[in-house]
Amino acid sequence: MTRRLKHVGLNVVGALAIVFMLVPFLWTILESFHGSDVFAPVLSLFRPSLSNYRYVLLHTAIPREFLNSLIACASALAVSIPVACMAAYGYSRLRFRGRSVLFYGVLITQLLPATALVIPLYRVWSLAHAFNDLVALGVAYAAVNMALAILLMRNFFDNLPRALDDAANIDGCSRFQTFWYILRPLVMPAVAASAVFVFVNAWQDYLLASSLITNSADFTVNVGLYAFEGAFTTDWGAILASSVLVSVPSVLMFALAQRYFVRVASGGVKE
């Protein structure tokens, strides 16, 4: 009897945990379709309306800021993925003095608090006159996420049999040809996964964008949303609809990469 009660108890705790994880964002989604009446009593009649979304898409800066974020994220991908893929190949296939020192040098910066990085970056950016440049912001994202992308792809290269390299070598492939024609097609899954992670991390960033972008026309969507909340604190309908729109790309991307993430995080960091 007590055993059975305990079983029920465990399930109740589990159910509570599920509710805790699901309700906050589902509530945001639900109420974003509630017109301007977002604080209506919970059990009142619900008439779905798209008015908040219409307002956000037609009358706010969110669509333009969405585009700005996409530009920054695209630059981050364009810079980080080819460069990190080459580096991953290098760390996996080349033997040279100081290899592991260099590799762990990249990894250790992951310990740095982002807030510690922002202060000197602010000064680097003012030296380089790079403020309000979305491509430069993308390069910063590329740098911040470089370690993760390299780690991910290097592990993948490590698990490709060396026999492939040797065979290509015997057939007269140069090092670059081996990389490009033989190995690169095989690591595409890791390339795709790193791309997803770089994109999601860049899309989520508030801190870097808020200090490196000062002109409101160049705001990324996170900074723009925060500014919008500051200016229109009471327009919850529009704020919630914007929040839902902002989260769509990263949630979608994350859903695609979830399985892979676990393998990387639990095995990849192990070294």
Give the per-residue contact string, 197-216, with another protein (x = CB under 8 A; - = no): ---x--xxxxx---x-----
Minimum CB distance to another protein, residue 204 (Å): 4
CA 76 to chain centre: 11
Q: How far is the CB of 18 from another protein (least distance, A)?
A: 6
- What is the phi/psi pair of residue 34, to 5°? -105, 20
Contact flag: residue 33 with another protein (CB under 8 A): no
Binding residue for another protein, selected from 150, 168, 198, 238, defined by CB under 8 A = 150
Each residue of 212-246: b (16+ CB within 10 Å) or e?
bbeeeebbbbbbbbeebeeeeeebbbbbbbbbbbb
* 100 lies in the binding site for another protein (CB under 8 A): yes
Residue 49 as a binder of another protein (CB under 8 A): the answer is: no
Least CB distance from residue 179 to another protein, whole Å? 8
Choice from 73, 144, 168, 212 touching another protein (CB under 8 A): 144
Could you say whether residue 110 binds another protein (CB under 8 A)?
yes
Q: Based on the shown chain and the rule CB under 8 A, indicate whether residue 172 belongs to the binding site for another protein.
A: no
Residue that is written with structure tokens 């301007």 in the block: 36
Q: Minimum Å distance from CB 25 to another protein? A: 5
Stretch that binds another protein, among 53-61, 70-78, 250-258 (CB under 8 A): 250-258
Instruction: List 49's β-bridge partners, or say none.
Output: 34
Separation of alpha carbons 110 and 17, rounded Å: 30
Q: How far is CA 257 from CA 42, 152, 173, 191, 254, in A?
A: 35, 12, 33, 11, 5
d(CA 93, CA 169): 13
The amino acid at residue 112 is L
Q: Does position 226 bind another protein by CB under 8 A?
A: yes
Contact 52, 35 (CB under 8 A): yes
* Binding of another protein by 269 (CB under 8 A): yes
Q: Name the minimum Å distance from CB 189 to another protein.
A: 3
- Minimum CB distance to another protein, residue 194 (Å): 12
Span of 47-55, 57-65, 70-78, 107-115 interacting with another protein by CB under 8 A: 107-115
The whole-angstrom separation of Cα 63 and Cα 60 is 7
Q: Is 135 in the site for another protein (CB under 8 A)?
A: no
